[in-house]
Amino acid sequence: MPAELCLIRGGGDLATGVAWCLSHADYPVIVAELPAPLAVRRTVALSSAIDFGEITVEGMLGRRVDSWEAATKVAHNGDVAVIVAPEPDFSRISVAIDARVAKRNIDTSIDDAELVIALGPGFSAGHDCHAVIETMRGPRLGHTVWKGSATANTGTPAELGGRSTERVLRALSDGTISWSRSIGDRVSAGELLGRVGNEEILCPFDGRVRGMIRDGHHTHTGQKIGDIDPRVDARCDKISDKSLAVGDGVLEAVRTWQSRSR
């Protein structure tokens, strides 16, 4: 049944879970990213290929390419093509997936492709897209919505190891990020993690660095710049269960659409 070329807009951790599920089901995948990606969980984000040329996430290889011709070739050869394309070439693909998780519709249209899927709140299936995938943790995580919307954004991060809002690091001012620690490091409460301009970024509690926006990025006040995981056994090199659940939801939606189209 596969062969439909899938375009994923965004290469963060949720998008990477989607790419992993689709590629392991033999769907060719292209990821379209910004020239300066905003992903925080960079060790499990295909967007890191923009900076390093390629990245391997749990056996899936993402390769940066510089043209749509190259992207199509890489995708059909079994790897994930990653291209800088804020405005993608929709004429080449059958399935478009908005995985930017902006909590709002930036510019996605139901006419972008034969099947248009969006992740999370901010979209209405049947209006902005054909299907919406639930991204809120809970019993409906990964559920496909064919009419209506996903759960509204609560503004509160999911709880991990008993921590919620406090585990997310946010910029206290506009400025350029300079980190003194790295993803995967064990850190202690009050420890200096880095700076945004002259503002110190201090660790809120004992834990492990789960994610950090790339060093040297110019950020704005309130922007998410990092994530601390309080769990002792936290793995920073594994796709999260949430991302895989969302990816499974996308895969189910694509297969359902293909079956209906036959």
* Longest Cα–Cα distance in the chain: 59
Q: What pLDDT score was predicted for residue 163? A: 80
Structure letter (DSSP) for residue 41? -
In angstroms, the CA 48 to CA 53 distance is 8
- Residue 22: enclosing H or E segment and its boundaries? helix 13-24
List residues bridging with 209 in a β-sheet. 228
- The residues, ordered by sequence, that sit 6+ positions from 259 with a Cβ below 8 Å of its Cβ are none
Q: One fold for both 6-153+241-261 and 165-229?
A: no
The C-alpha angle with vertex 236 and arms to 233 and 242, in degrees rounded to 5, equals 90
| Distances 88 to 6, 11, 82, 97 between C-alpha atoms, Å | 12, 13, 12, 11
Tokens of 136: 């809120």
CATH 2.40.50.100 describes domain 165-229: yes
Confidence (pLDDT) at 155: 72
CATH class of 6-153+241-261: alpha beta
Write out the H or E segment, with its range, that includes residue 52: helix 49-52
* Predicted TM-score of the model (pTM): 0.93
Beta bridge partners of 206: none
Query: What does the domain layout of the chain look like in residue ranges?
Result: 6-153+241-261, 165-229
Average pLDDT per block of 10 residues along the chain, 262 residues long? 86 97 97 94 96 96 97 97 92 95 94 97 96 95 96 76 84 95 95 94 95 94 94 86 97 95 76
Q: What is the pLDDT of residue 235?
A: 85
Q: Which amino acid is at 194?
A: G
pLDDT of residue 161: 66
CB 50 within 8 A of CB 67: no
